[in-house]
Amino acid sequence: MKTSALSRRRFLQASGAAAIWIPSSVRGYTSTELREFYANGEMQKDVSKWELDTPTLCVDLDLLEANLAKMQSTMATNGIASRPHAKSHKCPTIAQMQIDSGSVGICTAKVSEAEAMFQNGIDQILMTTTNVTPTKINRAMNLRQTCPGFIQATDAPQNARLLSAAAVAKNLIADVVVDVDAGIRRTGIPFGQPALQLAQLVDQLPGLRLRGMLCYDAAAQHVVGFEKRKAQTLETMVEATDTFELMRRSGLNTDIFSGGGTGTYNIDHGTGGLTDVQVGSYVFMDAQYMGIGGEQDEELYSDFDTSLTIMTTVLNDQYKGRATSDAGAKACTINQPWPIVKGETGIRYRSGSDEFGTIIYDEDASRTYKVGDKLELIVSHCDPVVNLYDQMVAIRNDKVEAVWQISARGMSA
């Protein structure tokens, strides 16, 4: 997906200056030093974000808090709940902030993420991916033994029977939702009778308690243009609502009908019966979402602020029209559109090299950089970028306020 030059420029002009020259004599505090400064849950030393060793993952607290407030305000107005997907941030601290702001719980994609969240105090967890191997099923049931708020998904009769056997073997009741495919043919069971029959099976099997259904329309989230995105979402989800109604009329438990996401957060309340929205990227935002357009702005999706950035340092300025930084693919991923230099115009960034990023100046570049200068990058796609880092540095008014562990980093199993 490409962000138009116009919307890109308008965003950058609105985002404020985000790059200043830093003398080489300024100390670059390492991640280990920052953890030591924050060992007691409060910074013991004043550290500017411009003093951080790089590459470093940073989150602007004012913008993050504004994003949380905006989402909850919208959910309240629309009469629907949020159940944010923690795969975007993988950070228990942010998960707790989401719950404290009104979310009914969180989602995780993998059982390892769910385990990491529970180990760090999060106890309302909906795992949206079906566990199919004996190892993962056993881990999920072990988690259910200690976490009463853990709910897992199933999308096939044979899998439901495996879950039942595992639950019975551990003498527990496992809460289960049926994952219904939104037409993507990636995961989930088809709409209508197949989904209903699976729900009825779950309801009858020993050791299982049906809680409702999921239907996440991933294909709709990045549809460019608000009206097109709205039309596609509401059309696709008609069959989901019909399926939900089949379950309800059959006397099944329909406490949960979860779906939607950041791209459709202000559309999803139009889906009949939907109880909560699985928003994720809204806490951070990224270059991919910026290009889809919003309800008020056809070119730029500016409903939420870009709170997440990567701080990087210029390593080489010897060549005309370009410079080299220390944030390459290992710090930024190679997802596209490429990262965006925050607060500047006429400057492009490429992170295709493993170790190095390339800063490219257009003729109307708002500035150039020298060796040792630092700049901030708006990330391409927040989910995989977060997964590259052990911690994120929480910033307020350009000062480090906290150091948050990304406890579910690398939890892909």
Q: 58-69: per-residue pLDDT in tens?
A: 999 999 999 999
Give me the helices (H) in 103-170, please. Answer: 111-119, 134-146, 157-169
- Sequence-distant (≥ 6) Cβ neighbours of residue 292 within 8 angstroms: 1, 222, 223, 224, 225, 229, 263, 301
Give the pLDDT band (50/70/90) at residue 329: very high
0.75 exceeded by pTM:
yes
Looking at residue 7, what is its pLDDT? 46
> Where a domain ends, among 246, 262, 290?
290
Rounded Cα distance between 260 and 257, Å, is 10
Helices 134-146 and 157-169 pack at an angle, to 10 degrees, of 50
Answer yes or no: are the C-beta atoms of 110 and 411 closer than 8 Å.
yes
Spatial distance between the Cα atoms of 340 and 350, rounded to a whole number of angstroms: 9
Buried b (16+ CB within 10 A) or exposed e, 3-40: beeebbbbbbeebeebbeebeeeeebbebebbeebbee
Longest Cα–Cα distance in the chain = 71
Confirm whether 195 is domain-assigned.
yes
CATH classification at residue 311: 2.40.37.20
Q: Are 7 and 290 within 8 A, CB to CB?
A: yes
CA distance 235 to 192: 15
Domain tally for the chain? Answer: 2
Asked which of 263, 290, 317 is the last residue of a domain, the reply is: 290
Q: Using only the alpha carbons of the chain, give its radius of gyration.
A: 22
SS3 292: coil
Same domain membership, residue 91 and residue 47 = no
Mean pLDDT, rounded, for 184-197? 97
Print the domain residue range for 356.
5-60+301-405
The pLDDT confidence band at residue 26, using thresholds 50, 70 and 90, is low
d(CA 281, CA 222): 12
61-78 helix and 92-100 helix, angle to the nearest 10 degrees = 40
Are 329 and 341 in the same domain?
Answer: yes
Q: State pLDDT tens for residues 223-268.
A: 999 999 999 999 999 999 999 999 999 999 999 999 999 999 999 9
Domain assignment present for residue 295? The answer is no
* Residue carrying structure tokens 């500035």: 367
Same domain as 271, residue 157: yes
Phi and psi (nearest 5°) for 405?
-75, 135
